[in-house]
């Protein structure tokens, strides 16, 4: 994508203002990308620039992240974030889109697609699935312990890139294995599972199980860990282009075939 990114703020139903970054033609097929926890839209910039102009990439900083508002009540539950997504799409007059979600954002995408399958033309889960490695859960636990034991922030220092209260929701975020499987079974759109070759969060076996439940396929990103869009953006963009490319020629009113 040759043109520069477009940025704006959109107020959603919760009253929060979400920072939104867009790439691609305004009339292109909408591809909504949800970043992972502690990240923001900038983590997907290189990927979005490499995709076809026929795909309109929309990447919001989710609540509590980047330039978006922090939740006054500290609610960073999956339910609250999915409600933000539904409200954002309504404000943008997007009735159907492709959804790409990484880690926390992938679970938000899964919950949205499982709840409103008719609104999703394609689903991409990036290094997240129905299960999480025990080593990944342990890394999350250590992060929470470090955050809880840290000294109060210096008022004169720049604010952290995300609201640390998010970490309180991580251990049970997105539900258990049974709930994730139930949601995935409700999804009707084509599914792509992207996994980092060296990821400590999602195992190859979990990725295959997730793809099998969703009747999808797995693409492994060489040399990448959990943060695939940063470690190998070229390979991620290639995988997304191959999977979502047909939508680029379908027009805003086009639709990919449901898998069921």
Q: Which of 41-45, 223-227, 255-259 has the lowest mean pLDDT?
A: 255-259
- Residue 126, CA distances (Å) to 77, 251, 253, 260 in order: 19, 25, 26, 22
What predicted TM-score, i.e. pTM, was given to this entire model? 0.90
Phi-psi domain of 99 (left: phi exceeds 0; alpha: psi -120 through 50; beta: other)? beta
Order across the sheet with 17-23: list the strands: 6-11, 17-23, 55-60, 29-34, 97-102, 120-126, 191-196, 217-221
Q: Band of the pLDDT at 205, cuts 50, 70, 90? A: very high
DSSP-derived letter for residue 57 is E
Average pLDDT over residues 144-151: 56
Which is it for the CA torsion 59, 194, 175, 188, positive or negative?
positive
Average pLDDT over residues 64-89: 97
pLDDT higher than threshold 50 for residue 97: yes
Q: Tell me the CATH number for domain 6-248.
A: 3.40.50.1820
Mention every residue, 6+ apart, whose C-beta is less than 8 A from residue 109.
34, 99, 100, 101, 123, 124, 125
């Amino acid at each position: 994508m040759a043109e520069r990114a477009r940025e704006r703020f959109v107020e959603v139903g919760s009253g929060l203002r979400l920072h939104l970054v867009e790439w691609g033609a305004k009339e292109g097929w909408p591809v909504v990308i949800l970043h992972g926890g502690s990240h923001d839209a900038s983590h997907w910039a290189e990927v979005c620039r490499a995709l076809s102009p026929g795909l309109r990439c929309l990447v919001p900083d989710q609540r509590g992240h980047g330039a978006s508002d922090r939740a006054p009540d500290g609610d960073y539950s999956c339910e609250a974030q999915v409600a933000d997504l539904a409200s954002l799409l309504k404000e943008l007059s997007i009735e159907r889109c492709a959804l790409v979600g990484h880690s926390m954002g992938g679970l938000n995408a899964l919950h949205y697609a499982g709840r409103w399958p008719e609104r999703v033309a394609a689903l991409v889960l990036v290094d997240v699935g129905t299960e999480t490695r025990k080593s990944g859960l342990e890394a999350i636990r250590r992060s929470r312990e470090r955050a809880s034991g840290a000294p109060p922030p210096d008022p004169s220092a720049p604010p952290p890139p995300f609201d640390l209260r998010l970490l309180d929701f991580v251990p049970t975020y997105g539900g258990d294995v049974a709930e994730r499987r139930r949601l995935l079974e409700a999804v009707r759109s084509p599914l792509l599972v992207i996994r980092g070759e060296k990821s400590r969060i999602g195992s190859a076996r979990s990725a295959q199980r997730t793809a099998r439940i969703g009747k999808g396929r797995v693409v492994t990103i060489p040399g990448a860990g959990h943060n695939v869009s940063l470690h190998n953006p070229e390979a991620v963009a290639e995988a997304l282009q191959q999977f979502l490319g047909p939508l680029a020629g379908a027009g805003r009113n086009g639709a990919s075939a449901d898998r069921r």
